[in-house]
Amino acid sequence: MKLEGPSALEVLDRGTPMRAADEVLVEVRAVAPAFPDLLMSQGKYQVKPQLPFTPGSDFAGVVLEGPAGSEFVPGTRVAGCLSYGAAAEQLSVTEDRLYPIPGEMSFVDAAAIPMNYLTSHFALVTRGNLSKGDSVMVLGASGGVGLASIQVAAGFGAQVIAVVSDDERAKAALEAGAHHVVLRDEVPDKAREITGGRGVDLVVDVVGGDIRNALGSLAPGGRVMAVGFASGEIPTVKVNRLLLTNTDVRGVESAYLWEAGISRAAWDDLMTLSGDGYLKPVVKVGGDLDDYGSALADLAAHSVVGRVVLTV
């Protein structure tokens, strides 16, 4: 494998993984390619695995073996999230990277949830201090994290404004549960109009680039959650503007969920929202592992609404 992007991916037979004593062996049923996979394949991500490596973060499947006393006994249906390595038929992973899924949830839906929804929960609840009745504006609302943020925010009782680039993406955002949809060039004016001139309490920004319109949409005490830079441009902020408006820009690095051991509590919150009908992943079933490269190419072209999921 070379760091030449999606076209350099190959499907290889590497044999059955060996399970360490503290790991769980999982038969993978579905895997969801993600934007970090694309960047890793190009050598542009902060995580730089040694070549050759297996891409893939989010997956769902069935436990084959586990440590003595583990909750993950053979037959348990699980979803999981790794930095990379999930695009395989079988995985051996530590328990902190696995989460039980309800019997009514499909493997395809389950594979679409971990990274995007845990990141959204972390951005909104842990870092953003979301409260019921807050107003939340989501930039890049038709992408995986954007749609997840719509649903998590709505599940916690927020009024959600989705910002999109065209009518097709507006439809997806409304179907995901957004209360209002505005086009990018209508921000910040439309956001202030919707909130009666006050502005929004939180902005979830997965796009990056020019951040001035996001800052101009904030209410006093509002905060922009910097989740990602899908535009390829990292924004800069003049802090005197934050001082004058009593607003914040907060970084969201979701790896902290696992470093701090708080991902399972967040997952349990998400499963409650799922049971209440708020979590409905927007997925496109895109083939199998042979199609991993083409799925990443679609992500590179920004042609995906929601999440591509491949079956194994």
Same domain, 240 and 178: yes
Strand partners, 226: 205, 251
Q: In what order do the strands lie in the sheet with 135-139?
A: 180-183, 159-164, 135-139, 200-205, 218-226, 248-251
Per-residue pLDDT of the chain (312 residues; tens, 9 = 90+): 578 788 878 888 888 899 999 999 999 999 999 888 888 888 887 788 888 888 999 999 999 999 999 999 999 999 999 999 999 999 999 999 999 999 999 999 999 999 999 999 999 999 999 999 999 999 999 888 999 999 999 999 999 999 998 888 999 999 999 999 999 999 999 999 999 999 999 999 998 878 999 999 999 999 999 998 776 678 788 899 999 999 999 999 999 999 999 999 999 999 999 999 999 999 988 899 999 989 988 888 888 888 899 998
Same domain, 21 and 40: yes
Neighbours of 288 (CB within 10 A): 13
Same domain, 215 and 131: yes
Classify residue 263: in a domain, yes or no: no
Distance between CA 223 and CA 144 in Å, rounded?
Answer: 21
Number of structural domains (the chain) is 2
Strands 135-139 and 200-205 turn out to be parallel
Backbone angles phi and psi of 77, in degrees to 5: -85, 130
Same domain, 168 and 105: no
Q: Amino acid letter at 210?
A: D
Distance between CA 218 and CA 100 in Å, rounded?
Answer: 37
- What pLDDT is recorded for position 231? 66
Domain final position from 235, 251, 267: 251
Same domain, 148 and 164: yes
Classify residue 33: in a domain, yes or no: yes
Tokens representing 247 are 């607003």
Tally DSSP H helices, then E strands, for the chain. Answer: 11, 13
- Write the CATH number for 296: 3.90.180.10
Distance between CA 41 and CA 198 in Å, rounded?
Answer: 43
Same domain, 178 and 300: no
Same domain, 85 and 144: no
Same domain, 107 and 124: no
* Cis amide leading into 52 (omega within 30): yes
- What pLDDT is recorded for position 15? 83
Comparing CA positions, the residue from 214, 277, 206 lying closest to residue 248 is 214
HSE value, Cβ hemisphere, 13 Å, CA-based, for 6: 19
- What pLDDT is recorded for position 42? 86
**Owning domain of residue 218:** 116-251
Tokens representing 276 are 């209440």
Tokens representing 202 are 């939180």
Q: Amino acid letter at 249?
A: V
Residues 88, 54: contact at Cβ < 8 Å?
A: yes
Q: Is the dihedral of CA 124, 128, 134, 138 positive or negative?
A: negative
- What pLDDT is recorded for position 188? 95
